[in-house]
Amino acid sequence: MGSEMYDKGMTVRREVLGAEHVDRSTAAADNLTAEFQSFITEYCWGEIWTREGLDRKTRSLINLAMLASLNRPDEFKLHVRAAINNGVTVDEMKEVLMQTAIYAGVPAAHSAFKWAREVLEGMEVDLT
């Protein structure tokens, strides 16, 4: 902790995922998970999410496709909220999941649509 990349990562992580989530994750860190929390903050959020090659919205769309394809519901749901925070629309999310159905399989997309609906309804996003 305390490196420049860690500090940048913590800023981005809090902006994308929300301060409450990040605070819960870091507060729950113990001897088993503390180094992992530092690792993802520095490298995932500090090194990758701060790169200039893609904007945050694009990174969110890519994450949704990958996490749906890998059948990672917890991370997918977290990144649905992050995607909304990064300006992704429901229609854009839908298109990513339609694309995912073709390249990763209908069952993966089917589950992802269900997970997305759960999060979006909880956020009170209009789905009509």
- For residue 128, is it within any domain? no
This prediction has a pTM of 0.91
Write out the residue range of the structural domain in which residue 87 sits.
Answer: 56-122
CATH of the domain at 60: 1.20.1290.10
Residue 41 DSSP one-character state: I
Taking only the tens place, the pLDDT of each residue in 13-35 is 999 999 999 999 999 999 999 99
Query: For residue 64, what are its two tokens?
Result: 């949704």
Give the up-direction half-sphere exposure of residue 112: CA atoms within 13 A in the CB hemisphere: 30
- State residue 1's pLDDT score: 52
Where does residue 13 rank: exposed (0-12), middle (13-18), buried (19+ CB within 10 A)? Answer: buried
- For residue 127, is it within any domain? no
Taking phi over 0 as left and psi of -120 to 50 as alpha, with beta for the rest, 89 belongs to beta
